[in-house]
Structures are given as structure tokens and as C-alpha cells.
Amino acid sequence: MKFARIALLAIVLAGGGIAAFFALGGRETAPTVAYTLLDGSTRSTDGLKGKVVLVNFWATSCTTCMKEMPALVETHRKFQGRGFETLSVAMNYDVPAYVANYVQSRQLPFQVTHDRSGEIAKQFGQVQITPTTFVVDKQGRIVKRYVGEPDFQQLHALLEELLVKA
């Protein structure tokens, strides 16, 4: 009998948590993380609130990451003047010189950090697969997570929708 009450209580509490999750729009709040850009300046994801943000985890050794990078650059350029920002996060296992060389040779137009400690990937839910991309709304909530290369037409439609929302 006692077990049944505990089980019922667990179900009620879990249901309440699920209800709260959906009451909040089913969206998880993006973590607040500090990071250092390749130019040595420090930033925080707190500074991105009020913008729609694309957070892309990648590595120079990742073929798909290298294939999608021109489309990420195009996406950034298309939306940058409308309250949109891109944060590119090179994985901790990537060689720092390779990251710096790639960013410089391709003249990436967005913020790039090298997650040397792995803390940013950990804060975003133990990201291990590259590419992994998050779309964060103006309120700082994760609205979409892509593992692998996104469908850029669908991604652009989502960004358009989020940018017009208050």
C-alpha cells in the first residue's frame, strides 16, 4: 500500500513537471555560459538575450561541419541586421591552430569560440556529435536542436518566424 502511494505521488509530480514544461511552451532555457572569442575578448550568452541566436557546435575534422559552414555564413549574413546572432563553438578536441586557421582563412563573419574545456558543450546538454545546432529565441529559450546538417530552407523559415515575434 505504501509503495502504491509513493508511485502515485511520483506520477503526479512527474505529470506536474511535464505540465509545467508544456505550459512554458515546451521550451528549455538556453544555458548562461561565458566564453572567450578567438580574438581574446570574453562574452556571455547573457549578452545575446533579446536576439534570435544560432549556436553551432562543430569541428575542423567533421566533414559535414565543413560542408555546412558556407550555408551558416550565408544564414548569418541574411539575418544579421535583424536582431540575429551566430555563435560558432569549436569542440574541445579540435586543434586550436586548425580552428584559428579555418576561421581566418574563411573569414567567418560571426562569433567563434573554442570550447577548450568542453564546458559549453556540457552546458548545452552534453553535445558530442558534430554538427549540432541550436536555435534560441529572443527570450533565451531553445526552440530547435539539429543534430547533423539542418534543412536550411526550413531553418530560414523558422528564423523568419522568430525574428518577427516580440
**In whole angstroms, what is the distance from residue 110 CA to residue 59 CA?**
16
Q: 77: how many CB neighbours lie within 10 A of its CB?
A: 13
Grid cell locating 166: 516580440
56 alpha-carbon distance from chain centroid: 5
Specify the amino acid at residue 146. Y
| DSSP code string of 46-112 | GGGTTSEEEEEEE-TT-HHHHHHHHHHHHHHHHHGGGTEEEEEEE-TTS-HHHHHHHHHHHT--SEE
Grid cell locating 98: 586548425
**Tens of pLDDT along 86-140?**
999 999 999 999 999 999 999 999 999 999 999 999 999 999 999 999 999 999 9
Instruction: Write down the pLDDT at residue 15.
Output: 40
Instruction: Write down the pLDDT at residue 4.
Output: 41
Q: Under a CB-based contact definition with an 8 Å cutoff, are residues 90 and 112 in contact? A: yes
**Tens of pLDDT along 26-70?**
569 999 999 999 999 999 999 999 999 999 999 999 999 999 999
Please enumerate in sequence order all residues whose Cβ is within 8 A of that of 64, keeping only pairs 6 or more positions apart, or say none: 130, 131, 148, 149
**In whole angstroms, what is the distance from residue 108 CA to residue 149 CA?**
18
The answer on pLDDT for 14 being more than 80 is: no
**In whole angstroms, what is the distance from residue 121 CA to residue 18 CA?**
25
